[in-house]
Structures are given as C-alpha cells and as structure tokens.
Amino acid sequence: QVQLQESGPGLVNVSETLSLTCTVSGGSISEHYWSWIRQSPGKGLEWIGYIHYSGITNYNPSFKRRVTISVVRSKNQFSLELSAVTAADTARYYCARLGKTDGYVFDYWGQGTLVTVSS
Amino acid sequence: EIVLTQSPGTLSLSPGERATLSCRASQTVISNYLAWYQQIPGQPPRLLIYGASSRASGIPDRFSGSGSATDFTLTISRLEPEDFAVYYCLQYGSSPRTFGQGTKVEIK
C-alpha cells in the first residue's frame, strides 16, 4: 500500500519561499505522476501542479510564476517550492499520487501539513 | 478554467436515508473525467468515484455516481453513520484541475 508523508516548516515569513517535501513509501516514484494540492477555508481545495519522474511538469496558472515542483529519485521524494508567499498562502498542503486510471485521478493522499505565513 | 458548483451547501438527513448531491460544471467536462471525494475532519480527501461513475477500490456499493457533460450526481443509497462528512467533486479533464466548494452531509 503506497503511503505519502509531507514534511517541512510549519511557519514561513511573508515574501519568503515555502518549501515542502513529500516522501513516498510502498511504491516507486518512477511509476506515476505526483501532485501538490492545498486547502484553505477561504479558497477550498486548489490544485497547484504535478510532476512526472522524467521531469515533465504542469502547473496551475494561478501559481505558475511562483511554483517549482521537482523529483529526487534517489530518495523517492518530490518537493514543492512556492516563492514570495503572502498570508493568502496559509493552508494545509497535501501531496497526492495520480493513479493510472484514464485521466489520472488523485487516488492516494498524504495526511497534509499546515503551513502558516506570518508577517 | 472550469468552475464546479456543488449543491446543496448542506444536506441534513438521518441515517438510512438517501442522499443526492449535485455538481454542475461551467463547461463540458472532457471525457467525463469527474471524481467525487469524501473528507472527514482531520483527514485528507478519500477517492470515492472517478470517471463520473466508477467506484474506487474498496468503496461500498451504496455510493454511486452518474451524469455527463456538465451535470453530475453522487448518490448515497442509505446513509451510514460514517458517511456524515463533506463531499467534493473534482474535474480532471482540463487544466487547471478544479474542485467544487463542497457539500456537507450532516445528521438531522
């Protein structure tokens, strides 16, 4: 059974870069696409972007100029960097797997990690 | 981007009753790539339905999905105590992928 676990700072200062890592266990990162999604009371669930182990990425235009998702194959991890954060980026951040169904739906999720942006 | 509107915002029902949740898209959802998720407080969303009507692995058959193009429905035939939660729809046929705002199913 695949498991995902987010890790990273729970507090980030305004204008700085939010950095999170997702560690995948129970499966190889090279076999799927992987995604970041966030959830906040104000905006609900928002898809941030996804990556394939080959390096192919697709980002939500709402984040495009600020976001980078990358893979660390040797550690079976992928990461999220979101630059120039504001209070609006305060949210619970989830990593998720895109399953091999037609269309690639998010089938496994991590428990999420709460990130607060502080001034 | 495709906007998904879920209704009602809150559904108040008793255990054993039937729940019908709606998800309406602002544009046609390509290939009916529409999924439903259940979220219990403190937990991540759990995949119930994908491709509008296919149940995910391990999901009880009291959950069913239907619809096409812009109108989709999640039906829970008989509510069990563990079904009281928030339900979200997701369209994954077009980029960016977008979620609905959720329907809360609460105990009456």
Return the percentage of chain B with pLDDT > 70, whole number.
Answer: 100
- Is the pLDDT assigned to residue B18 strictly greater than 90? yes
Q: What is the pLDDT of residues B80-93, one digit of tens each?
A: 999 999 999 999 99
Mean pLDDT of chain A: 95
Q: For B99, which residue in chain A has the nearest alpha carbon?
A: A45
Question: How far is residue B31's CA from residue B94's CA, in Å, rounded to a whole number?
Answer: 10
Q: What is the pLDDT of residues A9-45, one digit of tens each?
A: 999 999 999 999 999 999 999 989 999 999 999 899 9
* Secondary structure class of A71 (helix, strand, coil): strand
Q: For A44, which residue in chain B has the nearest alpha carbon?
A: B101
Q: Structure tokens of B4?
A: 């998904």
Question: How far is residue A95's CA from residue A14's CA, in Å, rounded to a whole number?
Answer: 23
CB-nearest partner of B102 from A44, A101, A104: A44
The residue length of chain A stands at 119
- Is the pLDDT assigned to residue A64 strictly greater than 80? no
> What pLDDT is recorded for position A31?
86
Q: List residues in chain A touching B: CB distance below 8 A.
A: 44-47, 58, 60-62, 94, 96, 101-107, 109-112
Distance between start and end Cα atoms, chain B: 36
Determine, for residues B95 and A44 on separate chains, whether the beta-carbon distance falls below 8 Å: no
> What pLDDT is recorded for position A100?
82
* Exposure class string for B95-108: b at 16+ Cβ within 10 A, else e: ebbbbbbbbebeee
Determine, for residues A103 and B90 on separate chains, whether the beta-carbon distance falls below 8 Å: no
Work out how many CB contacts closer than 8 A connect A with B: 58
What single DSSP character describes residue B32? G
What's the mean pLDDT in A33-59?
95
> What pLDDT is recorded for position A119?
85
Question: How far is residue B34's CA from residue A75's CA, in Å, rounded to a whole number?
Answer: 33
CA distances from A41 to A29, A46, A90, B42 (A): 31, 11, 10, 13
Determine, for residues B90 and A106 on separate chains, whether the beta-carbon distance falls below 8 Å: yes
Q: What is the pLDDT of residues B31-53, one digit of tens each?
A: 999 999 999 999 999 999 999 99
Q: What is the pLDDT of residues B1-11, one digit of tens each?
A: 999 999 999 99
> What pLDDT is recorded for position A47?
98
